[in-house]
Structure 1
Amino acid sequence: MDDRDRFAPAAAGAPTSDPYRRYANALGTVRLPAAFVDLDALDRNGDRLCMRARGMPVRLVTKSIRSVGVLRYLLDRFPYLQGLLCFSPAEAAWLASQGFDDLVVAYPTVEPSEIARVAAAVQGGASITLMVDDAAQLDVIDRCAAAAGTSLAVAIDMDASTSFPGLRFGVYRSPVATAKAALALADAIARRRHLRLDGVMGYEGQIAGLNDAVPGQRVRNRIIRTLKARSIRDVHRRRGAIVAALTAAGHRLRFVNGGGTGSFESTARDPSVTELAAGSGFYLPGLFDHYAVTLGEPAAGFALPVTRRPAPGIVTCAGGGYPASGPIGPDRLPKPWLPTGATLIDNEGGGEVQTPVRLGTADALPLGAPVFFRHAKAGELCERFDTLLLVRGDDIVDRVATYRGDGQCFF
């Protein structure tokens, strides 16, 4: 079956209006726990991202998708998606073997075995760009390229965090924060016989990945928005200076990548940026619920079966201990999604073998009934399941493998 065939629109007829009932009907004969993607919601999220990008090309972030079948669908469905932003060199080499091209690895590596896989793929005709932010990384990459008898493209990852008095607003990624530092690294790249500079990336995670409209936190929201506004000006100024300095020095840049799902509007206004990046905006996980800008709607989740009814208004589900990476806190736990109003029990959370849930109404769910959850992060859901069920309307239209289902684990 062709990938496009499996995602064909459902037959005419309105789907069930109640979302819980719709998903419960669709997954009625499926063994639970199970993960799924709602293709109708996925399409709407893709249309929204297109509108927000305002004509700028978008590099699809594989870390947030982690399924070859879904990657193919998105690239075919949305022409504004151009190329992939990968999270591992080994992943990029594997995706190249699956027929994908124009692959940029977002994070540096000094693991020779992974770089060797990339060099072999490039020698075979693939287009893969590695990320660097330190001259010491260049030596390993150059040696691997020489051993493979090829040259490798690299991109400079700039620091997009902003330093305020007593506060680092952003993440600890790259040490390349100024045009001077970028020029020094670019010159070091030029001195390596088997390397060439291909582009610049600057991911402003403190803007793209930070909630700024959390209910009940009006003061915090105002502070975050103020910090974001100041950081946007700082990032635009420094990124523009870096790109201008590299260009003036004769370095040719194929791309300047910036942003993420939560920062399309501000990043697209930076004239030095040539492409955006997005992935989470397609599945829209729990950590993207509270932004001043409407980002979309949930399109991916997982279902756990009710196996116990320990007290009135409470059911206990099998499995569910799927926390997300990052700072430990309640926002990293899976979110009960449907039925509406369901919540976790504070002193239990999501458990490895069972997860109790307080229902929003007095109506009890029968044993075996599903409770639907959303993961806090997008692609990390796929590390827990071999298969994604593809739902359109009231029906499962197909099943596709996750990276895990394809036997792949990149970290």
Structure 2
Amino acid sequence: MATDRDKLRDRLDRATAHLDPPYAVVDLAAFDANADALVSRAAGKPLRVASKSVRARDLLSRVLARPGWRGVMAFTLPEAIWLARTGISDNVLVAYPTADRGALAELAADPALAAAVTLMVDDPGQLDLVDAVCPPGRRPPLRVCLDLDASWRPLGGRVHLGVRRSPVHSAGAAGTFAAAVAGRPGFRLVGLMSYEAQIAGLGDAPPGQAVRGAAIRVAQRGSYRELLDRRAAAVAAVREHADLEFVNGGGTGSVAATSADPAVTEVTAGSGLYGPTLFDAYRAWRPTPAAFFACAVVRRPAPGLATVLGGGWIASGAAGASRLPRPWLPAGLRLLGAEGAGEVQTPVTGAVATTLRVGDRVWFRHAKAGELCERVNELHLVDGDEVVATVPTYRGEGRAFL
């Protein structure tokens, strides 16, 4: 009897029979189902789509047209300007501070753009840079959001769990910084963001690592409890100096938990739309795989082995096996530990490899979401067993932001 993955392979093969690998597809039924599932998990709080995890304007528009989604979290200021100017959204939050003088000058020169884009700040030097590009009296007030560091520092700060982001960690530091922003002309503090990467971006059930998974879950529970209190205190401290429009938090891996925080008014998500392999390590919710890329078998070097052309589309982050793409279809394939996924060729093994012939497709899933789009100029959108549209990625539109 055919399994669900057998049926998926057959459907994708039929839909793309006219295409020559390598190419990437998005299964629209899975994409839309993931979008709806994330809204359900957000329990009434709006979701801001993380453009870094999508990197295709047509699909950003598609998710923003669905109930429960509002606004974009961009990853660079030039990207935010482009998305605002092309009508994707008039509510774009830049997730990271910028030192792009040209983009800052463009933002400061256009009142409509300045009203649509919010900058991320956590250091007075970032405000100084903006003023050096365009003094306050020569620009509209620029919207800024304070990045509150969400990492957990137990044992008196001797342990750091989470990513290294903002220097603003305590509620007191947030209030002090908010007062400094309020006292400077040319800026308007409208938001606070805190991204709990140690919860949202770390799978709590890593395959084959039961002890590590249990330790991660203990740490995540402790971190969540600490952040609930600290984020609430920070929001209160900032509100003494600014009328906040939003308090943003979370990511795909923590939508339900972050939405339950009373201090948070909106949650960010993006990776869950494509369902990359890193999210296979989560217990609470696993998105349906929606994005795939196909490579062609070009060699049969030995029994039980098939080699595809290309395939080495490695994800960012700490180097390791978890960052490798995973051969997904046909089911039962795996990479060779000694070779992994190569730039120009990738051998795969497993009992099913014996059935593969030159010209057959092997379907991979990327470890991360939007990074797939840095490898292809277009995404083929599959509905059922046919390609119903082909849309450009950022790369396909000639846009390389990082």
Query: Which aligned pairs between 1:1-400 and structure 2 lie closer than 5 A?
Result: 18-76=7-65, 78-99=66-87, 100-124=89-113, 126-146=115-135, 149-165=139-155, 166-247=158-239, 249-361=240-352, 363-400=354-391
Work out the CA distance in 1 between the residues paired with 2:269 and 2:80. Answer: 17
1:46 offset after TM fit, Å? 1.0
Work out the CA distance in 1 between the residues paired with 2:134 and 2:148. Answer: 23
Report the residue type matching 1:259 in the other structure.
G
The size of the alignment, in residue pairs, is 395
CA deviations on 1:164-188 (whole Å, 9 max, x unpaired) are 3343110100010112111221122
Preserved CA contact (<8 Å) 2:77 2:100: no
SS in structure 1 at match of 2:307: strand
SS in structure 1 at match of 2:84: helix
CA deviations on 1:68-127 (whole Å, 9 max, x unpaired) are 011111111x22110000000000001111112100000011221222233235455651
1:295 offset after TM fit, Å? 2.5
Q: Structure 1 residues 79, 119: CA separation in 2 closer, same or farther (over 3 Å shift)?
A: farther
Percent of aligned pairs sharing the same letter: 48
Q: Structure 1 residues 60, 122: CA separation in 2 closer, same or farther (over 3 Å shift)?
A: farther
Report the residue type matching 2:185 in the other structure.
R
CA deviations on 1:354-376 (whole Å, 9 max, x unpaired) are 11111342642111111000111
Preserved CA contact (<8 Å) 1:93 1:121: no
Work out the CA distance in 2 between the residues paired with 1:360 and 1:388. Answer: 30
1:243 offset after TM fit, Å? 0.5
Preserved CA contact (<8 Å) 2:182 2:241: no
Report the residue type matching 1:152 in the other structure.
L
Work out the CA distance in 1 between the residues paired with 2:125 and 2:286. Answer: 39
1:398 offset after TM fit, Å? 0.6
Preserved CA contact (<8 Å) 1:314 1:364: no
| Residue equivalent to 1:8 | none
SS in structure 2 at match of 1:96: helix
SS in structure 2 at match of 1:316: strand
Report the residue type matching 1:376 in the other structure.
A
1:378 offset after TM fit, Å? 0.2
1:203 offset after TM fit, Å? 0.3
Work out the CA distance in 2 between the residues paired with 1:137 and 1:160. Answer: 20
User: Under a length normalisation based on structure 1, what TM-score does the superposition of the two structures give?
Assistant: 0.93
Preserved CA contact (<8 Å) 1:389 1:396: yes
Preserved CA contact (<8 Å) 1:122 1:152: no
Work out the CA distance in 2 between the residues paired with 1:356 and 1:123. Answer: 52
Q: Structure 1 residues 164, 300: CA separation in 2 closer, same or farther (over 3 Å shift)?
A: same
1:324 offset after TM fit, Å? 0.6
User: Under a length normalisation based on structure 2, what TM-score does the superposition of the two structures give?
Assistant: 0.95
Q: Structure 1 residues 31, 294: CA separation in 2 closer, same or farther (over 3 Å shift)?
A: same
Q: Structure 1 residues 16, 265: CA separation in 2 closer, same or farther (over 3 Å shift)?
A: closer
1:313 offset after TM fit, Å? 1.6
Preserved CA contact (<8 Å) 1:323 1:376: yes
1:43 offset after TM fit, Å? 1.1
Report the residue type matching 2:225 in the other structure.
R
SS in structure 2 at match of 1:66: coil
Report the residue type matching 1:357 in the other structure.
V
1:58 offset after TM fit, Å? 0.6
1:145 offset after TM fit, Å? 4.6
Preserved CA contact (<8 Å) 1:151 1:194: yes
CA deviations on 1:264-288 (whole Å, 9 max, x unpaired) are 1211111110000000010010111
